[in-house]
């Protein structure tokens, strides 16, 4: 069992854990549990229906709460994306890896961007690297945000993950930060000429640039289903880290979720996040992996 290191509070976030019945050993069975980490981006605890928000639609996340454990006091390692993710993946203070929150320190890394050439140092041991020694396969879907490097040496495949499908930085680095909804909502005056179009990557290779954010959630959900099927069929213990871009600004959602909630763009994006959670849980059920899987839902910071 992986136990997170207790660290001082910097921003409170929610964590929901589903402990399935097969996670504990039965009789002589010593099957290693699969681990699924569902990581929201900048979601606050008060955003969910289960916490009393009347504007949101989050039935799948609320179902995790009903069937699992709800932690009402949980702390992130940092209030910014890159350092908090470094803390989550390594169990160590982000500052020990040279990744910390911007403040008065002009040399602080803060968050990694397209133009930076550094990343999470290779001497830092990630969860994926630890689990590989126990026979696990690991996959990361979605947002990485822990560096790219001059030769892509800081991407997930170089930090213990066997598969990666996603964007290596924040979608805030895309040049037009109001062009993610249908084009009739696009304000091209917000485009930043020196920003490179966001790249969608499969492993270390760019497969689409700029990425189509309107159908990204659907494609990520399909990828998650495929990986769960593959690992389940081969009876390989796996770590799946599904790192959402929702509901970080600028908000976006596919057509099925556009104008679908009472709270506007923010809760529309949260509804699409919730749908992806439902897709993962449905595939765990269909693949027969649900009874031996530890599912954790949390946010990098809120």
Q: In what order do the strands lie in the sheet with 69-71?
A: 69-71, 15-19, 293-299, 34-40, 238-243, 137-143, 163-167, 200-202, 205-208
Active site annotation includes 20? no
Instruction: Please pick, among 145, 171, 248, 251, the residue that the annotation labels catalytic.
Output: 145
Active site annotation includes 122? no
The Cα–Cα gap between 82 and 161 comes to 17
The Cα–Cα gap between 70 and 267 comes to 21
Instruction: Please pick, among 20, 60, 81, 159, the residue that the annotation labels catalytic.
Output: 81
* Burial classification of residue 276, based on how many CB atoms lie within 10 Å of its CB (0-12 exposed, 13-18 middle, 19 or more buried): buried
| 3-class secondary-structure state, position 178 | coil
Residue pair 80/34 in contact by the 8 Å Cβ criterion: no
Q: What is the dihedral of CA 60, 61, 63, 67, to 10 degrees?
A: 140
The Cα–Cα gap between 265 and 299 comes to 19
Query: Catalytic residue positions?
Result: 81, 145
């Amino acid at each position: 069992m992986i136990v997170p290191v207790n660290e001082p509070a910097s921003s409170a976030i929610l964590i929901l854990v589903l402990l399935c019945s097969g996670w504990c050993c039965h009789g002589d069975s010593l099957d290693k549990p699969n681990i699924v980490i569902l990581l929201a981006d900048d979601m606050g605890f008060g955003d969910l229906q289960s916490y009393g928000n009347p504007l949101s639609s989050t039935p799948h996340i609320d179902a995790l709460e009903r069937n699992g454990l709800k932690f009402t006091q949980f702390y992130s390692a940092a209030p910014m994306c890159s350092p908090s993710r470094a803390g989550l993946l390594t169990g160590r203070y982000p500052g020990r890896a040279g990744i910390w929150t911007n403040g008065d320190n002009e040399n602080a890394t803060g968050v990694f961007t397209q133009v930076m050439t550094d990343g999470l140092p290779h001497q830092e041991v990630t969860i994926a690297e630890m689990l590989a020694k126990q026979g696990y396969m690991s996959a990361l879907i979605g947002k990485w945000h822990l560096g790219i490097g001059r030769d892509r040496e800081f991407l997930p495949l170089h930090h213990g993950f066997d598969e990666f499908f996603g964007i290596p930085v924040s979608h805030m680095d895309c040049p037009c930060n109001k062009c993610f909804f249908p084009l009739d909502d696009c304000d091209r005056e917000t485009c930043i000429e020196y920003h490179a179009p966001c790249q969608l990557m499969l492993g270390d290779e760019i497969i689409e640039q700029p990425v189509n954010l309107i159908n990204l959630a659907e494609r990520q959900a399909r990828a998650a289903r495929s990986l769960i099927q593959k690992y389940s069929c081969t009876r390989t213990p796996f770590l799946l880290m599904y790192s959402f871009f929702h509901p970080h600004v600028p908000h976006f959602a596919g057509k099925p979720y556009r104008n679908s909630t009472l709270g506007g763009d923010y809760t529309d994006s949260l509804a699409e996040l919730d749908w992806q959670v439902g897709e993962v849980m449905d595939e765990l059920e269909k693949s027969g992996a649900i009874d031996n899987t530890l599912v954790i839902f949390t946010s990098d910071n809120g």
